[in-house]
A and B are shown apart, each in its own frame.
Chain A
Amino acid sequence: MDMRLQISPGMLRSEFVSKITELSGQDINLCYQCGKCSAGCPMSFVMDLLPNQIIHSVQLGLTEDVIRSRTPWLCASCLVCTVRCPKGIDIASVMEAVRQISLRKSEDFIDLAGLERGTLAELPAIALVSGFRKLTG
């Protein structure tokens, strides 16, 4: 498999990278890929890209890889990565920024109409409100 990756100054300074920086308030270039975020992440077992790979992809300006990834939608905002990052990056806020970029284009992760009545009745308000707040626009 060809693992070569071509990056350009344009990718590194893309609108996507500056939007992530602006929304998260984080300097993602501080990350040196130690992997501590991924090591502690309780949801990594269902992610396609690990949290450190998301950060690396943002650093390289790989917009499509980040936007297409399911990882930000599986992040439960538990903040383990954020409190453990040795470089002080609030990784959970970077995940929120990625979600926001999609949500602001009305690309919801939950199909509200598709939720069954029984599920809605069983779930407590705290689950529904937080789920809708995080995964719908």
Chain B
Amino acid sequence: MSYYPGCTLKTKALNFEASAIAAMAALGVNLVELPRWNCCGTVYSMAEDDLAHHIAPVRNLVRVSEQGSGKVVTLCSFCYNTLKRADLLMRNSPEKRDAINAFMDEEIDYQGDVEVVHLLEVLRDDLGWEEIAREVKVPLEGLKVVPYYGCTLTRPQEAAIDSVENPTVLQELLRVLGVTVLDFPLATECCGSFEIVSRPDSVTERAYAILGMALRKGAEAIVVSCPLCAHNLGQQQPKIAEKYGNFPGIPIIYFTQLLALAVGISPELCRFDLNFGEVEALLEKKGLLPQCERSGVGE
């Protein structure tokens, strides 16, 4: 399956990529990195006359077309959203599509023939929960988490991988893995996103609201699918502790890391060392690590 990594999966979110590739291989799905991919631009351009910024995502869709696979999967929620909406634009706006194709005259014309999916959709729709349940070697029992979708998996409506207001796909996956999933009212509330660059103080407040709710719900970790959410929710914790005091902290884990662990991938390959928070200590306390080491990779 064609796989689009994006910029952060190759730099600060190596744990996200490594765990996804290993877990999917164990589930019989080969994630094949797209050749010559470029940055998607991270955000979708919303100004009507701004076609130039759609070129980056569309160029990636052309790469997928060339592969003839007709489908591309992303791990990063931002990449998913930008590629998905660029594809929808090319399908639904003939005039803009023609202008963008004409501008990229060195490329083949993109006709809107690529399906952009997020890995959670592949797990739910292509593999299915029953098949994944059969592959679970290490049920992650006793681990209590809250799911956090952030913004870009469920908004806007036309790009949503699940219900806009009440998505369940992440909870469904985690329950299949044996995880205890707690109800989380802030599952789709924005963490402050790119405002971390210009107004980090406002992101501290957003993170405090989200993390505080997770802790009050009794969560031992927050499960995410976006490297920017992971960064904002993780790196703001020392600032929250400094500002508010008495803040115990909570680890941030990518859903693919728990998937990998559950299907028997070695914890070393999950790269928990790159996560925010004491993930390995938490898993060890729950008795989820030693068992895992015995089962080894791809067993």
Q: Which A residues are closer than 8 A to B by beta carbons?
A: 22-25, 42-43, 45-46, 73-74, 76-80, 82-83, 90, 92-93, 96-97, 100, 109-110, 115, 122-135
Contacts and interface: CB of A to CB of B under 8 A. Distances in A.
B178 to A, nearest CB: 30
Contact of B192 (A43, A96, A129, A133): A43
Contact of A93 (B46, B189, B194): B46
A135 B193 CA distance: 12
Nearest to A104: B47
A135 B197 CA distance: 9
A43 to B, nearest CB: 6
B50 interface: yes
Contacts of A134: 43, 194
Interface in B125-179: 151, 155-157, 164-165
B196 interface: yes
Contacts of A100: 47, 50
A23 B235 contact: no
B155 A127 contact: no
A135 B46 contact: no
B193 A77 contact: yes
Nearest to A111: B198
B48 A23 contact: yes
B199 A129 contact: no
Top 3 A-B pairs ranked by shortest CB distance?
Answer: A131-B197, A78-B190, A130-B194
B interface, by DSSP: helix, strand, loop or mixed? loop
B54 interface: no
B228 A127 contact: yes
B192 to A, nearest CB: 6
A45 B199 CA distance: 13
Given A123-B231, A126-B7, A76 B46 contact: no
Contacts of A90: 46, 156
A99 B156 CA distance: 20
A133 B41 CA distance: 8
B228 A130 contact: yes
B8 interface: yes
22 contacts: A23-B48, A24-B48, A25-B48, A42-B206, A43-B195, A45-B202, A74-B195, A74-B199, A76-B192, A76-B193, A76-B195, A78-B155, A80-B189, A80-B190, A97-B47, A109-B198, A110-B198, A126-B227, A127-B231, A130-B78, A133-B41, A133-B53
A62 to B, nearest CB: 21
A79 B8 contact: no
A108 to B, nearest CB: 10
A135 B6 CA distance: 21
B195 A124 contact: no
Given A42-B190, A82-B156, A124-B8, A131 B196 contact: yes
Given A83-B155, A126-B8, A46 B197 contact: no
